[in-house]
Structure 1
Amino acid sequence: MPGRPPGGAPNEPRWDDPRWRVAERATEAIRRRFPADVLAVAVHGPLAHGDDDGGGDGEVNLLVVTYRSGTGPVPATRRVDGVLVDLTVSGADDYLRQARTVTPLWPLTADRYVTTRALYDPSGWLPGLRDQHLAQLVRARPTEFTTAARRAWYRGCAAHARAGRLAQWYETDQALLMLGEARLAAATVTGLLTRTYFRDPGDAVRRTRLAGADMTTVGRVLAGQADELAARGRPVDGSVEELLDG
């Protein structure tokens, strides 16, 4: 790649960072081995934001978009020269379909559609992906977000209840794991109700002030979210008939 800056501006790749070097090598290898299949290659996550600390010990989230599903490299995770590389591979149509869908995990997945850094994108597909995702958010009805929030709330409620039972049985380690799941689920509910997305799970619990929250606090947050969902026409409690109606 011509003209690489040795350090890079704040919004430019730092080619002296081993993660960028590994990402570039992987991109070159992918293009060489699958020249007819690959539409675009990019990074998302901290490197795409350009604000990573440059320490070289983080993860490279590498996205490969192919013209057709089931072609190109196989999704994989490996440590390469000390750098953990998580390789996601998706057909263009499938990835666009995901970007147009509001799911219970939308607050944790939206960033990968909005903030990417292209390593190979001759047709400008990645900006189109971002534009389509943002356009879908504008078109989305409030019920889409509240329906997804209710599903996320159920996951948080179940994890919170499980954490409580495990704590009573003195299964402390497992209880803490379940409590962490409950925190994250509650954070995604908040994200869906406010149409806010996060960079990663850690960012989600920090920004919703749930990092380190205890059982009582998480339970109180979940109860408040249940009230909010009911006020928006998506109550978490219902009859068997309502269960069968969805």
Structure 2
Amino acid sequence: MSAGDDRVAVDRGLDDGRWAVAARVGEAVRRRFPADVLAVAVHGPLAHGDDDGGGDREAGLLVVTYRHHAGPKPATRRVDGVLVDLTVAAAEDYLAQARVISPLWPLTADRYVTTQPLHDPTGWLRTLRDEHLGRLARARPAEFSTAARQAWYRGSAAHARAARLAEWYETDQALLMLGEARLAAATVTGLLSRTYYRDPGDAVRRTGLAGADMTEVGVVLGRQPEELAARGRAVDGTIDDLLSG
């Protein structure tokens, strides 16, 4: 492990077990795939620098490769008590993903904007961030409202399903679908306000939906079509609207 490449990991404190494991995984990846790896980075709670070492002891790692199907395979394993989630992507593919405004944008943008390098000799992670921020600067309002409309459909369907399951006393399934409806409603809010979240838990917490019950989630989802319509993207339409996208 070179001092220059991994200074960030040292600064964050290798006495935290997750940083230590992340650094070891990054070093092992570089040693095993020296010709394939362009960059290795940490994303998620550790990358924000305010992680206190508590929680579920998770470490999210990104391995960026020069070519498709190179480097290690994506995997999740617990290593020395730390759950390591290893994402592997070719540089070209990951940059392409960073340019997409999808219905899940509020849940994915943090990975493009907030990453901390374990190995990034060419400064590729800065390119990733700049590509994403540049795409946001060029995005038209209609792109966000279109994505929000798709997220709303998902949330509305999940909420309706949850309500039916509750009527049938399928409580466990109803709670799962209610959770999906909460998250979809949160992503609609994020898209309409151009706000991204660290993770699903952060999304429902920051939008006040973390403890929302069936009725409260229904009220939020019932309000959102008005805002979508005001932005020129009504959730209801004709067959012609459907076929024209």
TM-score, normalising length from structure 1? 0.95
Asked if structure 2 preserves the Cα contact closer than 8 Å seen for 1:19 and 1:56, the reply is no
Shift of the alpha carbon at 1:55? 3.3
Moved over 4 A (4+): none
Shift of the alpha carbon at 1:70? 1.1
Change (3 A) 1:56 1:224: closer
Deviates further, 153-162 or 14-23: 14-23
After superposition, the C-alpha distances for 1:100-156 in whole angstroms (9 at most, x for unaligned) are 110000000000100001000000000111111111101000011000000000000
- The separation in 2 between residues aligned to 1:123 and 1:236, in whole angstroms, is 45
After superposition, the C-alpha distances for 1:5-26 in whole angstroms (9 at most, x for unaligned) are 9x97xxx311101111111111
1:237 aligns with 2:236: yes
Could you tell me which amino acid in structure 2 is paired with residue 72 of structure 1? Answer: G
Q: Which runs of 5+ in 1 are unaligned?
A: none
Shift of the alpha carbon at 1:56? 7.7
Q: Higher relative contact order by CA 8 Å / sep ≥ 6: 1 or 2?
A: 2
Query: 2:34 aligns to what?
Result: 35
After superposition, the C-alpha distances for 1:199-222 in whole angstroms (9 at most, x for unaligned) are 011110111011111111111111
Query: 2:62 aligns to what?
Result: 63
1:198 aligns with 2:197: yes
Q: What SS does structure 2 have at the residue aligned with 1:61?
A: strand
Asked if structure 1 preserves the Cα contact closer than 8 Å seen for 2:39 and 2:121, the reply is yes
Query: 2:120 aligns to what?
Result: 121
After superposition, the C-alpha distances for 1:36-74 in whole angstroms (9 at most, x for unaligned) are 110000000010001111138421100000011211100
Q: What SS does structure 1 have at the residue aligned with 2:60?
A: strand
Query: 1:140 aligns to what?
Result: 139
1:126-205 counterparts in 2 under 5 A? Answer: 126-205=125-204
Query: 2:95 aligns to what?
Result: 96
Change (3 A) 1:56 1:168: closer
Asked if structure 1 preserves the Cα contact closer than 8 Å seen for 2:65 and 2:71, the reply is yes
Q: What SS does structure 1 have at the residue aligned with 2:164?
A: helix
- The separation in 2 between residues aligned to 1:213 and 1:22, in whole angstroms, is 36
- The separation in 1 between residues aligned to 2:115 and 2:3, in whole angstroms, is 20
Change (3 A) 1:199 1:239: same
Q: Which runs of 5+ in 2 are unaligned?
A: none
Asked if structure 2 preserves the Cα contact closer than 8 Å seen for 1:226 and 1:235, the reply is yes
Asked if structure 1 preserves the Cα contact closer than 8 Å seen for 2:57 and 2:81, the reply is no
1:47-58 counterparts in 2 under 5 A? Answer: 47-55=46-54, 57-58=56-57
After superposition, the C-alpha distances for 1:161-180 in whole angstroms (9 at most, x for unaligned) are 00000000001111111101
- The separation in 1 between residues aligned to 2:218 and 2:46, in whole angstroms, is 35
| Percent identical residues | 75
Asked if structure 2 preserves the Cα contact closer than 8 Å seen for 1:49 and 1:115, the reply is yes
**How well do the aligned residues superpose, as a CA RMSD in angstroms?**
1.6
Query: 2:17 aligns to what?
Result: 18
Asked if structure 2 preserves the Cα contact closer than 8 Å seen for 1:163 and 1:174, the reply is yes
Q: What SS does structure 2 have at the residue aligned with 1:36?
A: coil
Shift of the alpha carbon at 1:223? 1.2
Asked if structure 1 preserves the Cα contact closer than 8 Å seen for 2:106 and 2:187, the reply is yes
- The separation in 2 between residues aligned to 1:2 and 1:120, in whole angstroms, is 10
Q: What SS does structure 2 have at the residue aligned with 1:126?
A: helix
Aligned residues: 242
Could you tell me which amino acid in structure 2 is paired with residue 127 of structure 1? Answer: R
Asked if structure 2 preserves the Cα contact closer than 8 Å seen for 1:18 and 1:56, the reply is no
Asked if structure 2 preserves the Cα contact closer than 8 Å seen for 1:56 and 1:83, the reply is no
Shift of the alpha carbon at 1:240? 1.4
Q: What SS does structure 1 have at the residue aligned with 2:212?
A: coil
Change (3 A) 1:55 1:216: closer
Could you tell me which amino acid in structure 2 is paired with residue 175 of structure 1? Answer: A
TM-score, normalising length from structure 2? 0.95
